Amino acid sequence: PPPPPPPPPPPPPPGFFDDVNKAAVAPGKVSGTAALFAELEAKGQAAAAGLRKVSKDQMTHKNPALRASSVVAAGAVKSASGGPAAAAPAAAAKKPPKMDNVGNKWFIENFEGKEDLVLDDVTPRTAVLFVKNKQSLIQIPGKINTLSIDSCTKCRILVGSCVASVEIINCQSVQIQVTGTTPMITMDGCAGVIVFLSQQCIDDDVSIVSSKCSEMNVVLPGKTEEEDPTEIPVPEQFETKIKGGKLETTALSHVGA
């Protein structure tokens, strides 16, 4: 049979825990609420020496007018650090609109509600930057090198031809019409973009590149003057498969029943 279990250890000798108990209640070691009351008791009447007497008209339980009012004195507002509360940051100053020509670049910025902007002093080497405009329309009937539309909202842009590309960046609800041709149109971080293409753009095999965009549509001209234009959405949903150790991505199209 297995041997019996060992007996329990003997109790500690008398006075073994005396030092521990004394340390727990030693003076100066009390904390929390007990420490607060101990300090008040030690000070006696001196604890109330710095307090200000409150008159009856300043007591809310004896003055109904104070209970009905929730207004705090302006000088009473303090920050967490004890100093005056920090003032709210001032709104950024609205920048004035400008239409400046610097070398071969045109800067058209900060226009709002301007429907008659026209830029015709351009060449095939001109770069046009249309930046931070709202609810405005600009016409650029000539041929330019590049057109960059950046951070614009509810704007319409009409351009003749671009030698290099048209860039649309961080825009909301904008429309652009190309009456001539351009080899490439890029869109990045936009929502609600409509691109009107000419037949020459289609014949020249224009490329449309988009990333991080939504609600993009391309309008193609009718094949005849009597035929209505066709509006086609740019795909936003894609399917990626792995074939032969490589990724193959195709756009998904949803066809109604």
CB atoms closer than 10 angstroms to residue 1:
3
Comparing 69 with 204, the larger pLDDT belongs to 204
Q: What are phi and psi of 176, to 5 degrees?
A: -135, 135
Of the spans 85-94, 226-235, 245-254, which averages the highest pLDDT? 226-235
Show the domains of the chain with their CATH numbers.
98-251 (2.160.20.70)
Q: Residue 75: is its pLDDT beyond 80?
A: no
User: Is residue 108 within 8 Å of residue 131, measured between CB atoms?
Assistant: yes
Q: Tell me which of 80-84, 110-114, 171-175 is least confident.
A: 80-84
Range 76-98 average pLDDT: 69
| Amino acid occupying residue 138 | I
The pLDDT confidence band at residue 97, using thresholds 50, 70 and 90, is very high
User: Is residue 236 within 8 Å of residue 216, measured between CB atoms?
Assistant: yes
Strand stretches in the chain, DSSP E: 98-102, 105-109, 117-118, 127-131, 137-150, 156-169, 172-178, 184-188, 191-196, 207-211, 214-220, 230-233, 238-243, 246-251
Q: Residue 158: is its pLDDT beyond 60?
A: yes
Q: Give me the pLDDT at residue 257, please.
A: 43
Comparing 127 with 88, the larger pLDDT belongs to 127
Whole-structure pTM over 0.85, yes or no? no
Which residues, in sequence order, are CB contacts of 15 under 8 Å at separation 6+?
none
Q: Give me the pLDDT at residue 253, please.
A: 75
Q: What are phi and psi of 24, to 5 degrees?
A: -65, -30
pLDDT tens-digit series, residues 129-150: 999 999 999 999 999 999 999 9
Q: Give me the pLDDT at residue 223, please.
A: 86
Comparing 212 with 253, the larger pLDDT belongs to 212
Distance of CA 127 to the CA centre of its chain: 29
Closest CA to 192 of 158, 251, 229, 152: 152
Range 211-233 average pLDDT: 93
Comparing 185 with 53, the larger pLDDT belongs to 185
